[in-house]
Chains A and B, each alone.
Chain A
Protein backbone atom coordinates (compact mmCIF):
# COMPACT_ATOMS: atom_id res chain seq x y z
CA UNK A 1 0.00 0.00 0.00
CA UNK A 2 1.20 3.56 -0.59
CA UNK A 3 2.58 5.42 2.40
CA UNK A 4 1.71 8.76 3.90
CA UNK A 5 4.22 10.55 1.65
CA UNK A 6 2.47 9.22 -1.50
CA UNK A 7 -0.90 10.39 -0.27
CA UNK A 8 0.43 13.81 0.73
CA UNK A 9 2.20 14.29 -2.63
CA UNK A 10 -0.86 13.18 -4.58
CA UNK A 11 -3.19 15.40 -2.61
CA UNK A 12 -0.79 18.35 -2.90
CA UNK A 13 -0.56 17.92 -6.68
CA UNK A 14 -4.35 17.88 -7.04
CA UNK A 15 -4.62 20.99 -4.84
CA UNK A 16 -1.97 22.82 -6.86
CA UNK A 17 -3.66 21.87 -10.14
CA UNK A 18 -6.95 23.22 -8.91
CA UNK A 19 -4.97 26.24 -7.63
CA UNK A 20 -3.73 27.00 -11.17
CA UNK A 21 -7.29 27.13 -12.50
CA UNK A 22 -8.44 29.26 -9.54
CA UNK A 23 -5.49 31.67 -9.93
CA UNK A 24 -6.12 31.99 -13.70
CA UNK A 25 -9.82 32.56 -13.04
CA UNK A 26 -9.16 35.21 -10.40
CA UNK A 27 -6.75 37.04 -12.74
CA UNK A 28 -9.17 36.87 -15.71
CA UNK A 29 -6.77 34.65 -17.67
CA UNK A 30 -8.89 31.51 -17.92
CA UNK A 31 -9.91 31.99 -21.55
CA UNK A 32 -6.60 33.35 -22.79
CA UNK A 33 -4.75 30.29 -21.47
CA UNK A 34 -7.64 27.88 -21.96
CA UNK A 35 -5.52 24.86 -23.05
CA UNK A 36 -3.33 25.16 -19.94
CA UNK A 37 -6.35 25.44 -17.66
CA UNK A 38 -8.14 22.53 -19.32
CA UNK A 39 -5.04 20.40 -18.92
CA UNK A 40 -4.78 21.30 -15.23
CA UNK A 41 -8.48 20.56 -14.64
CA UNK A 42 -8.21 17.19 -16.44
CA UNK A 43 -5.06 16.37 -14.50
CA UNK A 44 -6.85 17.03 -11.20
CA UNK A 45 -9.79 14.81 -12.27
CA UNK A 46 -7.41 12.00 -13.29
CA UNK A 47 -5.59 12.42 -9.96
CA UNK A 48 -8.85 11.81 -8.10
CA UNK A 49 -9.66 8.81 -10.37
CA UNK A 50 -6.23 7.32 -9.66
CA UNK A 51 -6.99 7.37 -5.94
CA UNK A 52 -10.34 5.75 -6.57
CA UNK A 53 -8.67 2.95 -8.61
CA UNK A 54 -5.93 2.66 -5.97
CA UNK A 55 -8.47 2.30 -3.16
CA UNK A 56 -10.46 -0.35 -5.06
CA UNK A 57 -7.70 -2.35 -6.74
CA UNK A 58 -4.51 -1.82 -4.69
CA UNK A 59 -1.09 -0.47 -5.59
CA UNK A 60 0.32 -3.73 -6.98
CA UNK A 61 -2.71 -4.59 -9.12
CA UNK A 62 -2.41 -4.60 -12.92
CA UNK A 63 -5.53 -2.39 -13.07
CA UNK A 64 -3.76 0.39 -11.17
CA UNK A 65 -0.55 -0.10 -13.16
CA UNK A 66 -2.31 0.24 -16.52
CA UNK A 67 -4.56 3.03 -15.33
CA UNK A 68 -1.57 4.99 -13.98
CA UNK A 69 0.63 4.70 -17.05
CA UNK A 70 -2.06 5.03 -19.71
CA UNK A 71 -3.63 8.03 -17.95
CA UNK A 72 -0.09 9.46 -17.75
CA UNK A 73 0.34 9.02 -21.51
CA UNK A 74 -3.10 10.58 -22.07
CA UNK A 75 -2.19 13.55 -19.87
CA UNK A 76 1.10 14.00 -21.73
CA UNK A 77 -0.85 14.11 -25.00
CA UNK A 78 -3.13 16.75 -23.46
CA UNK A 79 -0.05 18.63 -22.33
CA UNK A 80 0.96 18.75 -26.02
CA UNK A 81 -2.23 20.68 -26.67
CA UNK A 82 -1.38 23.03 -23.79
CA UNK A 83 2.02 23.48 -25.41
CA UNK A 84 0.34 24.18 -28.73
CA UNK A 85 -1.76 26.82 -26.95
CA UNK A 86 1.49 28.48 -25.86
CA UNK A 87 2.80 28.23 -29.44
CA UNK A 88 -0.29 29.98 -30.74
CA UNK A 89 0.12 32.75 -28.12
CA UNK A 90 3.80 33.29 -29.00
CA UNK A 91 3.13 33.09 -32.75
CA UNK A 92 -0.29 34.78 -32.70
CA UNK A 93 0.80 37.55 -35.04
CA UNK A 94 1.95 35.03 -37.65
CA UNK A 95 -1.47 33.29 -37.95
CA UNK A 96 0.11 29.82 -38.01
CA UNK A 97 -2.64 27.93 -36.11
CA UNK A 98 -3.53 25.43 -38.87
CA UNK A 99 0.10 24.41 -39.39
CA UNK A 100 0.57 24.03 -35.64
CA UNK A 101 -2.41 21.69 -35.28
CA UNK A 102 -1.33 19.60 -38.26
CA UNK A 103 2.23 19.43 -36.95
CA UNK A 104 1.08 18.33 -33.48
CA UNK A 105 -1.11 15.52 -34.81
CA UNK A 106 1.66 14.27 -37.11
CA UNK A 107 4.19 14.37 -34.29
CA UNK A 108 1.92 12.53 -31.86
CA UNK A 109 1.16 9.81 -34.42
CA UNK A 110 4.86 9.52 -35.25
CA UNK A 111 5.87 9.18 -31.58
CA UNK A 112 3.30 6.43 -30.92
CA UNK A 113 4.37 4.59 -34.09
CA UNK A 114 8.07 4.87 -33.16
CA UNK A 115 7.42 3.57 -29.61
CA UNK A 116 5.43 0.65 -31.02
CA UNK A 117 8.26 -0.10 -33.46
CA UNK A 118 10.85 -0.19 -30.64
CA UNK A 119 8.75 -2.55 -28.50
CA UNK A 120 7.50 -4.82 -31.30
CA UNK A 121 10.53 -7.10 -30.94
CA UNK A 122 9.76 -8.02 -27.29
CA UNK A 123 6.14 -9.13 -27.67
CA UNK A 124 5.98 -10.83 -24.23
CA UNK A 125 6.42 -7.44 -22.49
CA UNK A 126 4.34 -5.61 -25.04
CA UNK A 127 1.85 -3.64 -22.95
CA UNK A 128 3.98 -3.00 -19.89
CA UNK A 129 7.11 -2.00 -21.79
CA UNK A 130 5.21 -0.09 -24.47
CA UNK A 131 3.68 2.33 -22.01
CA UNK A 132 7.05 3.20 -20.35
CA UNK A 133 8.68 3.54 -23.77
CA UNK A 134 5.81 5.69 -25.03
CA UNK A 135 5.96 7.95 -21.96
CA UNK A 136 9.73 8.42 -22.31
CA UNK A 137 9.38 9.29 -26.00
CA UNK A 138 6.38 11.56 -25.45
CA UNK A 139 8.23 13.52 -22.77
CA UNK A 140 11.29 13.79 -24.97
CA UNK A 141 9.29 15.02 -27.98
CA UNK A 142 7.54 17.45 -25.61
CA UNK A 143 10.95 18.65 -24.49
CA UNK A 144 12.09 19.16 -28.08
CA UNK A 145 8.89 21.09 -28.90
CA UNK A 146 9.31 23.26 -25.80
CA UNK A 147 12.93 23.89 -26.73
CA UNK A 148 11.85 25.02 -30.21
CA UNK A 149 9.20 27.24 -28.63
CA UNK A 150 11.81 28.73 -26.31
CA UNK A 151 14.02 29.40 -29.33
CA UNK A 152 11.10 31.12 -31.08
CA UNK A 153 10.39 33.14 -27.92
CA UNK A 154 13.97 34.42 -27.86
CA UNK A 155 14.12 34.98 -31.61
CA UNK A 156 10.85 36.91 -31.70
CA UNK A 157 11.95 38.89 -28.62
CA UNK A 158 8.87 37.87 -26.69
CA UNK A 159 8.80 40.10 -23.63
CA UNK A 160 5.63 39.01 -21.77
CA UNK A 161 6.91 37.75 -18.41
CA UNK A 162 3.93 35.48 -17.94
CA UNK A 163 4.36 33.70 -21.29
CA UNK A 164 8.13 33.39 -20.72
CA UNK A 165 7.66 31.80 -17.28
CA UNK A 166 4.93 29.44 -18.49
CA UNK A 167 7.19 28.21 -21.31
CA UNK A 168 10.26 27.83 -19.08
CA UNK A 169 8.35 25.93 -16.38
CA UNK A 170 7.06 23.55 -19.03
CA UNK A 171 10.61 23.09 -20.32
CA UNK A 172 11.86 22.20 -16.83
CA UNK A 173 8.96 19.77 -16.37
CA UNK A 174 9.44 17.98 -19.71
CA UNK A 175 13.22 17.73 -19.38
CA UNK A 176 13.04 16.44 -15.78
CA UNK A 177 10.46 13.80 -16.74
CA UNK A 178 12.27 12.76 -19.93
CA UNK A 179 15.49 12.33 -17.91
CA UNK A 180 13.64 10.35 -15.22
CA UNK A 181 12.02 7.99 -17.71
CA UNK A 182 15.32 7.52 -19.54
CA UNK A 183 17.03 6.67 -16.23
CA UNK A 184 14.19 4.31 -15.44
CA UNK A 185 14.72 2.55 -18.77
CA UNK A 186 18.45 2.29 -18.05
CA UNK A 187 18.11 1.20 -14.39
CA UNK A 188 14.68 -0.44 -13.98
CA UNK A 189 15.75 -2.20 -10.76
CA UNK A 190 15.78 1.04 -8.70
CA UNK A 191 12.09 0.81 -7.73
CA UNK A 192 12.49 2.82 -4.52
CA UNK A 193 13.59 5.93 -6.42
CA UNK A 194 11.19 5.67 -9.38
CA UNK A 195 8.27 5.48 -6.99
CA UNK A 196 8.96 8.95 -5.54
CA UNK A 197 10.56 11.01 -8.30
CA UNK A 198 7.54 11.37 -10.67
CA UNK A 199 5.10 12.52 -7.92
CA UNK A 200 7.61 15.12 -6.65
CA UNK A 201 8.25 16.35 -10.21
CA UNK A 202 4.50 16.34 -10.82
CA UNK A 203 4.06 19.05 -8.16
CA UNK A 204 6.54 21.40 -9.82
CA UNK A 205 4.59 22.33 -12.94
CA UNK A 206 1.30 23.31 -11.23
CA UNK A 207 3.32 25.11 -8.53
CA UNK A 208 5.25 27.16 -11.09
CA UNK A 209 2.14 27.88 -13.19
CA UNK A 210 0.05 28.87 -10.17
CA UNK A 211 2.86 31.20 -9.10
CA UNK A 212 3.04 32.72 -12.60
CA UNK A 213 -0.71 33.35 -12.82
CA UNK A 214 -0.84 34.71 -9.30
CA UNK A 215 2.23 36.91 -9.25
CA UNK A 216 2.88 37.96 -12.85
CA UNK A 217 0.36 40.41 -14.30
CA UNK A 218 -0.51 40.00 -17.97
CA UNK A 219 1.16 43.31 -18.81
CA UNK A 220 4.48 42.59 -17.00
CA UNK A 221 7.42 42.70 -19.38
CA UNK A 222 11.02 41.41 -19.38
CA UNK A 223 13.95 42.08 -21.68
CA UNK A 224 14.45 38.66 -23.40
CA UNK A 225 18.22 39.25 -23.78
CA UNK A 226 18.52 39.02 -19.98
CA UNK A 227 17.37 35.39 -20.05
CA UNK A 228 19.89 33.93 -22.48
CA UNK A 229 22.14 31.36 -20.82
CA UNK A 230 25.13 32.50 -22.85
CA UNK A 231 26.00 36.10 -21.93
CA UNK A 232 25.48 38.58 -24.80
Chain B
Protein backbone atom coordinates (compact mmCIF):
# COMPACT_ATOMS: atom_id res chain seq x y z
CA UNK B 1 0.00 0.00 0.00
CA UNK B 2 2.79 2.45 0.96
CA UNK B 3 4.81 1.43 -2.10
CA UNK B 4 1.79 1.98 -4.39
CA UNK B 5 1.17 5.44 -2.90
CA UNK B 6 4.85 6.34 -3.29
CA UNK B 7 4.74 5.12 -6.90
CA UNK B 8 1.73 7.28 -7.83
CA UNK B 9 3.08 10.41 -6.10
CA UNK B 10 6.56 9.93 -7.55
CA UNK B 11 5.27 9.53 -11.10
CA UNK B 12 3.14 12.67 -10.70
CA UNK B 13 6.13 14.63 -9.42
CA UNK B 14 8.35 13.19 -12.18
CA UNK B 15 6.02 14.50 -14.90
CA UNK B 16 5.82 17.92 -13.23
CA UNK B 17 9.60 18.24 -12.76
CA UNK B 18 10.21 17.06 -16.31
CA UNK B 19 7.83 19.66 -17.75
CA UNK B 20 9.41 22.46 -15.69
CA UNK B 21 12.93 21.32 -16.60
CA UNK B 22 12.10 21.23 -20.32
CA UNK B 23 10.51 24.66 -20.06
CA UNK B 24 13.65 26.02 -18.38
CA UNK B 25 15.68 24.76 -21.38
CA UNK B 26 13.23 26.26 -23.86
CA UNK B 27 12.96 29.57 -21.96
CA UNK B 28 16.77 29.91 -21.77
CA UNK B 29 16.91 29.64 -25.59
CA UNK B 30 14.03 32.09 -26.11
CA UNK B 31 16.23 35.03 -25.12
CA UNK B 32 18.88 34.24 -27.74
CA UNK B 33 18.64 35.98 -31.12
CA UNK B 34 19.04 33.99 -34.34
CA UNK B 35 21.72 34.82 -36.89
CA UNK B 36 20.53 36.13 -40.27
CA UNK B 37 21.79 32.95 -41.96
CA UNK B 38 19.79 30.67 -39.68
CA UNK B 39 16.72 32.84 -40.14
CA UNK B 40 17.05 32.35 -43.89
CA UNK B 41 17.77 28.62 -43.70
CA UNK B 42 15.00 27.94 -41.19
CA UNK B 43 12.53 30.33 -42.76
CA UNK B 44 11.71 32.02 -39.44
CA UNK B 45 12.62 35.41 -38.00
CA UNK B 46 11.82 36.41 -34.41
CA UNK B 47 9.19 33.79 -33.66
CA UNK B 48 8.44 30.25 -34.81
CA UNK B 49 5.34 28.07 -35.11
CA UNK B 50 4.80 24.62 -33.62
CA UNK B 51 4.52 23.20 -37.15
CA UNK B 52 8.14 24.24 -37.83
CA UNK B 53 9.51 21.92 -35.16
CA UNK B 54 9.70 18.71 -37.24
CA UNK B 55 11.31 20.54 -40.17
CA UNK B 56 13.87 22.20 -37.89
CA UNK B 57 14.76 18.83 -36.38
CA UNK B 58 15.37 17.47 -39.89
CA UNK B 59 17.68 20.43 -40.58
CA UNK B 60 19.44 19.75 -37.26
CA UNK B 61 20.10 16.17 -38.32
CA UNK B 62 21.80 17.42 -41.49
CA UNK B 63 24.40 19.32 -39.41
CA UNK B 64 27.33 17.65 -37.65
CA UNK B 65 26.38 16.85 -34.04
CA UNK B 66 27.69 18.82 -31.10
CA UNK B 67 28.12 16.26 -28.32
CA UNK B 68 26.79 18.46 -25.53
CA UNK B 69 23.49 19.51 -27.13
CA UNK B 70 22.24 15.98 -27.75
CA UNK B 71 20.66 15.59 -24.28
CA UNK B 72 18.84 18.91 -24.29
CA UNK B 73 17.43 18.36 -27.80
CA UNK B 74 16.18 14.94 -26.73
CA UNK B 75 14.53 16.42 -23.61
CA UNK B 76 12.82 19.19 -25.61
CA UNK B 77 11.71 16.71 -28.27
CA UNK B 78 10.03 14.60 -25.54
CA UNK B 79 8.43 17.74 -24.13
CA UNK B 80 7.15 18.72 -27.59
CA UNK B 81 5.61 15.25 -28.03
CA UNK B 82 3.99 15.47 -24.59
CA UNK B 83 2.50 18.91 -25.33
CA UNK B 84 1.36 17.74 -28.78
CA UNK B 85 -0.33 14.69 -27.26
CA UNK B 86 -2.06 16.90 -24.67
CA UNK B 87 -3.10 19.32 -27.42
CA UNK B 88 -4.61 16.45 -29.33
CA UNK B 89 -6.44 15.02 -26.31
CA UNK B 90 -6.93 17.39 -23.37
CA UNK B 91 -7.20 20.64 -25.33
CA UNK B 92 -10.19 19.23 -27.22
CA UNK B 93 -12.03 18.98 -23.91
CA UNK B 94 -10.68 22.30 -22.58
CA UNK B 95 -10.31 24.65 -25.57
CA UNK B 96 -8.98 27.46 -23.32
CA UNK B 97 -5.70 25.50 -23.07
CA UNK B 98 -5.22 25.56 -26.85
CA UNK B 99 -3.38 28.96 -27.12
CA UNK B 100 -1.03 28.09 -24.23
CA UNK B 101 -0.14 24.72 -25.80
CA UNK B 102 0.40 26.34 -29.18
CA UNK B 103 2.74 28.87 -27.53
CA UNK B 104 4.68 26.01 -25.92
CA UNK B 105 5.05 24.21 -29.24
CA UNK B 106 6.22 27.46 -30.86
CA UNK B 107 8.84 27.91 -28.10
CA UNK B 108 10.07 24.36 -28.73
CA UNK B 109 10.43 25.21 -32.44
CA UNK B 110 12.37 28.37 -31.57
CA UNK B 111 14.62 26.28 -29.32
CA UNK B 112 15.31 23.94 -32.28
CA UNK B 113 16.18 27.00 -34.41
CA UNK B 114 18.64 28.22 -31.75
CA UNK B 115 20.20 24.72 -31.62
CA UNK B 116 20.48 24.82 -35.43
CA UNK B 117 22.17 28.22 -35.19
CA UNK B 118 24.73 26.81 -32.73
CA UNK B 119 25.38 23.76 -34.91
CA UNK B 120 25.96 25.91 -37.99
CA UNK B 121 28.42 28.07 -36.02
CA UNK B 122 30.10 24.91 -34.67
CA UNK B 123 30.45 23.40 -38.19
CA UNK B 124 31.95 26.67 -39.43
CA UNK B 125 34.47 26.59 -36.59
CA UNK B 126 35.45 22.97 -37.32
CA UNK B 127 35.82 23.72 -41.04
CA UNK B 128 37.93 26.80 -40.35
CA UNK B 129 40.20 24.78 -38.03
CA UNK B 130 40.62 22.06 -40.69
CA UNK B 131 41.51 24.65 -43.34
CA UNK B 132 44.07 26.19 -40.99
CA UNK B 133 45.65 22.78 -40.33
CA UNK B 134 45.86 21.88 -44.02
CA UNK B 135 47.82 25.07 -44.84
Contacts and interface: CB of A to CB of B under 8 A. Distances in A.
Contacts of A161: 24, 28
B68 A215 contact: yes
Interface stretch (A36-44, A81-89, A93-101, A167-175): A167-175
A26 B53 CA distance: 34
Contacts, number: 87
A9 interface: no
Contacts of A171: 13, 17, 20-21
Interface residues of B, number: 26
Contact of A231 (B7, B20, B100): B100
A175 B24 CA distance: 18
Contacts of A143: 9-10, 13
Q: Which of A147, A168, A176, A220 has the most CB of B within 10 A?
A: A168
A14 interface: no
B13 A147 contact: yes
A203 B71 CA distance: 12
A175 B11 contact: yes
A220 to B, nearest CB: 7
Contacts of A169: 21
A49 interface: no
Nearest to B4: A186
A5 to B, nearest CB: 19
Contacts of B28: 161, 216, 220, 222
Contacts of A183: 3, 7
B64 to A, nearest CB: 19
Contact of A182 (B4, B71, B72): B4
B6 A164 contact: no
A80 interface: no
A221 to B, nearest CB: 9
B97 interface: yes
Interface of B: 2-4, 6-7, 9-11, 13-14, 16-21, 23-25, 27-28, 68, 71-72, 97, 100
| Nearest 10 CB-CB pairings of A with B | A171-B17, A175-B14, A182-B7, A179-B10, A185-B3, A178-B10, A168-B21, A231-B100, A182-B6, A175-B13
